[in-house]
Amino acid sequence: MQDFDYVSAKTLKEAVSLLNRHGDQACVLSGGTDILVQLREGRRKARLVVDIKGIPQLNQLSCTKAKGLTLGAAVPCCQIYEDKTIAKAYPGLIDAVSLIGGIQIQGRATVGGNLCNASPAADTIPALIALGAVCTIAGPKGTRKVRVEDFCVAPGRTALKKGELLVSIHLPPPKPRSGAYFLRFIPRNEMDIAVVNAGASVLLDARKQTFVSARIALGAVAPTPLFIPEAGEALVGKSVSDGAVSEAAEIAKAAARPISDMRGAAEQRRHLCGVLARRALQGAIQRAKGGN
């Protein structure tokens, strides 16, 4: 591994100052389960690693019916899925968070780090998109908001500018008769990277028979996690039915731009897009109707 300096930042101001001063030569350590591997293998280079685990704002974990969920960028995955209030309110998020690595990894890995790693196959990002999550970013010019679907701009690249870091992710409070679901397909249990993954959320009318709104996202089938608004819009006002779900899934499938690699062929991925989008919608509908 290359040599680098290490600083454990204690305040947001200190972290922003360090990142702004060192620019591309600095990187952020949240959980470290991605960045340390990348540094060791030479896929990332840095002269300074800024550990943000000690910054209070980045460790915030708050969930209320009125304000929703605020998830600090340094909160480990295990702390999220072990919280019964969060697990009950956001099962679609728990679907994704509980899949990241094994128990040891989940004690360090963070949703914020998974998002900032900007992998097209990241497991948390389609779930966050489906749930309408918004990022709070801090930098030299203050704070700003970015929707999760706009956060990843290319493989391994984000909307963060010089000196900026992700502070937290906010999920709006779940509405009555809403539901969300996430799932993925992996080539085998020993290879924990999705061939395709999918997240979906739905909001049903008072009789639970008509779609009021829906959001669908896919991963590992484009240069960035893919939000497909037209697939959700195709459901609005329609009766809840297998036909409507299949139509939306086909729209999602058509939007995918998969490639062939060691995990799967492009045609296989394209087929899986339709299958997983349909299953994610079906799972979200079941939860919106009161199922698990």
- The domains of the chain are located at 5-51, 56-171, 178-288
Cβ 81 vs Cβ 75: under 8 Å: no
The b/e string for 128-162 (b: 16+ C-beta within 10 A; e otherwise) is bbbbbbbbbbbbeeeeeebebbebbeeebebbbee
Mapped onto helix, strand or coil, the DSSP state of residue 97 is: helix
- pLDDT lower than 70: segments of the chain: 1, 188-191, 291-292
Q: Using alpha carbons only, what angle is made at residue 115 by residues 23 and 168, rounded to the nearest 5 degrees? A: 80
Q: What is the largest distance, in Å, between two alpha-carbon atoms of the chain?
A: 61
Cβ 208 vs Cβ 230: under 8 Å: no
Question: Any alpha helices (H) in the chain, and if so which ranges?
Answer: 12-22, 35-41, 77-81, 84-89, 91-97, 103-106, 111-117, 124-130, 229-233, 242-255, 266-288
Q: Which residue has the tokens 């998020």?
A: 93
pLDDT digits (tens, 9 = 90+) for 173-194: 999 999 999 999 987 665 578 9
pLDDT given for residue 137 in this prediction:
98
Cβ neighbours of residue 283 under 8 Å, at least 6 residues apart?
Answer: 179, 181, 183, 200
CATH match for 5-51 among 3.20.20.370, 3.30.2290.10, 3.30.43.10, 3.30.450.40 = 3.30.43.10
Listed residue (286, 83, 72, 95) closest to 171, CA to CA? 72
pLDDT given for residue 110 in this prediction:
93
Can you tell me the distance from the alpha carbon of 137 to that of 139, in angstroms, rounded to the nearest whole number?
Answer: 7
Locate 57 and state its tokens: 């704002």
pTM of the model: 0.95
CATH classification code of 56-171: 3.30.465.10
For 105: left if phi > 0, alpha if psi spans -120 to 50, otherwise beta; the answer is alpha
For 136: left if phi > 0, alpha if psi spans -120 to 50, otherwise beta; the answer is beta
Q: Which residue has the tokens 């249990």?
A: 189
Architecture of domain 178-288: 2-Layer Sandwich (3.30)
Question: Are 56-171 and 178-288 equal in CATH topology?
Answer: no
CB neighbourhood size of 59 (10 A): 17
